[in-house]
Structure 1
């Protein structure tokens, strides 16, 4: 069988080209670069940011915001009312999110969320935030518990607001618990390193958006992008407050 002898120089050139191509690919899919494909930018906030000057936030090209409303069955974010009052006076589209607890029932968590936001207009579909907390990394809960709690709360929110809630999660939590489990719920994924492999409607790609003096505590907030075909606007007529 005939073969071509490849010189060491040729091998070195080929290896260098492959390495360069790999570097270019890694740069292209890195979060700072890949996120530039998207023009719809947003933030998510809670009491951790302190007081927020929402008119100043809107000057940074922010199109949407998700505000923490509740956590578990009894906690209401202490800045919920202030953030609602501020954002509602701007052109920023906004919604609310609930941090899922595995220690309380889906029913009482739904009651907590409903009561906290019942007086507020909701422009974007509500979100359930499900991720690591406490000592979960050291003592991970059973997948059955996580999925059942999430699906129960998702069903209650869909019944309440007429649409499936967005599911927010991190890359590691998704692969351990949620892959193949969240069905038709829109996905909001956190990956601050690379372009996500999942189909998403929102991607949280950094926690280092510098809003300067628009934010009281720390200057920096999480920054997200939304896909242009995302259907996250609430149909207010479907909301059935109880």
Structure 2
């Protein structure tokens, strides 16, 4: 009987030891590490304002850095945000980059402090440039965010060097992918932004998105394809299936780890066609 009690006591001790070891391992796990992500552990929510184009593309919609089919005529571009800081635009120009988008705003609470250098510097070296807005449909309405964008660097001018503003609508880096909105509410929010931008600038804004997000959060709505140019995000050898309503893309973000700074993109056409597009 005494030997049974000793065996039970030893087993309990071993279980407590193993539990303590497991707890220590979990507590010491780096939540930013691939192991933490693979284990399904939560990762820190980024600081508001730090979102940038394609932030969720590699995680949600395919592999990054895949070589791209170069057979079609295209013109190389980049998109940048405060993540890149001050950009060496002459280096990018010498590498063959001919157009750029710089993040201007997010929600109605954030202005990119590097936007003047990025937006103006790309223009100064000869690029066609534009600005983009990172949408946060859970904070304020679409029209309010369009006004904020236009008022803080997202306007347009008919000078053959300025691209229409772009609405970056993709995975929410701060919470639920669809910002807590139903598909109908998301479509309304996007429409409100686009209508106000058109009223303020005279141009239809570019829509930047990924097919999988668009399908999930709008139900693959087809109503903007006839008016708003598509900037598709897909890190693969082809653009793949486009969202409903668009038969072709205007721009393609094909990687976030290109040979030079920023995400790399391709305009679907020659440099002359790019300038024609910029004029409207």
Normalising TM by the smaller chain, what interval?
0.7 to 0.9
SS of residue in 1 equivalent to 2:199:
helix
TM-score by length of 2: 0.64
CA contact (8 A) 1:31 1:191 kept: no
CA contact (8 A) 1:208 1:223 kept: yes
The equivalent of 1:226 in structure 2 is: 267
**Superposed displacement of residue 35, structure 1:** 4.3
The equivalent of 2:96 in structure 1 is: 61
**Superposed displacement of residue 205, structure 1:** 0.8
When residues 33 and 194 of structure 1 are mapped into structure 2, their CA distance, relative to the original with a 3 A threshold, is closer
Structure 2: distance between partners of 1:72 and 1:201? 25
Is there any run of 5+ residues in structure 1 with no aligned partner, and where? 1-29, 212-219, 236-242
Q: Post-superposition, which runs of at least 4 consecutive aligned residues in structure 1 deviate over 6 A? A: none
When residues 138 and 116 of structure 1 are mapped into structure 2, their CA distance, relative to the original with a 3 A threshold, is closer
When residues 124 and 71 of structure 1 are mapped into structure 2, their CA distance, relative to the original with a 3 A threshold, is same
Structure 1: distance between partners of 2:177 and 2:155? 36
**Superposed displacement of residue 140, structure 1:** 5.2
The equivalent of 1:24 in structure 2 is: none
The equivalent of 1:27 in structure 2 is: none
CA contact (8 A) 2:231 2:250 kept: yes
Larger Rg: 2
The equivalent of 2:126 in structure 1 is: 91
CA contact (8 A) 2:81 2:102 kept: yes
1:117 aligns with 2:153: yes
What count of residue pairs does the alignment treat as equivalent? 198
CA contact (8 A) 1:192 1:206 kept: yes
| Alpha-carbon displacement from aligned partner over 1:203-227 (angstroms, at most 9, x marks no partner) | 111111122xxxxxxxx42111111
The equivalent of 2:252 in structure 1 is: 203
1:147-158 equivalences in 2 (<5 Å): 147-158=187-198
When residues 58 and 183 of structure 1 are mapped into structure 2, their CA distance, relative to the original with a 3 A threshold, is same
The equivalent of 1:33 in structure 2 is: 68
**Superposed displacement of residue 130, structure 1:** 0.3
**Superposed displacement of residue 183, structure 1:** 3.0
When residues 104 and 57 of structure 1 are mapped into structure 2, their CA distance, relative to the original with a 3 A threshold, is same
When residues 118 and 97 of structure 1 are mapped into structure 2, their CA distance, relative to the original with a 3 A threshold, is closer
Structure 2: distance between partners of 1:120 and 1:45? 18
When residues 31 and 75 of structure 1 are mapped into structure 2, their CA distance, relative to the original with a 3 A threshold, is same
The equivalent of 1:79 in structure 2 is: 114
Match of 2:144 among 108, 115, 139: 108
**Superposed displacement of residue 147, structure 1:** 0.9
**Superposed displacement of residue 200, structure 1:** 0.7
Match of 1:180 among 222, 225, 229: 222
Greater strand proportion: 1
**Superposed displacement of residue 202, structure 1:** 0.4
Is there any run of 5+ residues in structure 2 with no aligned partner, and where? 1-64, 243-247
CA contact (8 A) 2:103 2:131 kept: yes
TM-score by length of 1: 0.74
SS of residue in 2 equivalent to 1:37:
coil
1:189 aligns with 2:224: no
CA contact (8 A) 1:147 1:181 kept: no
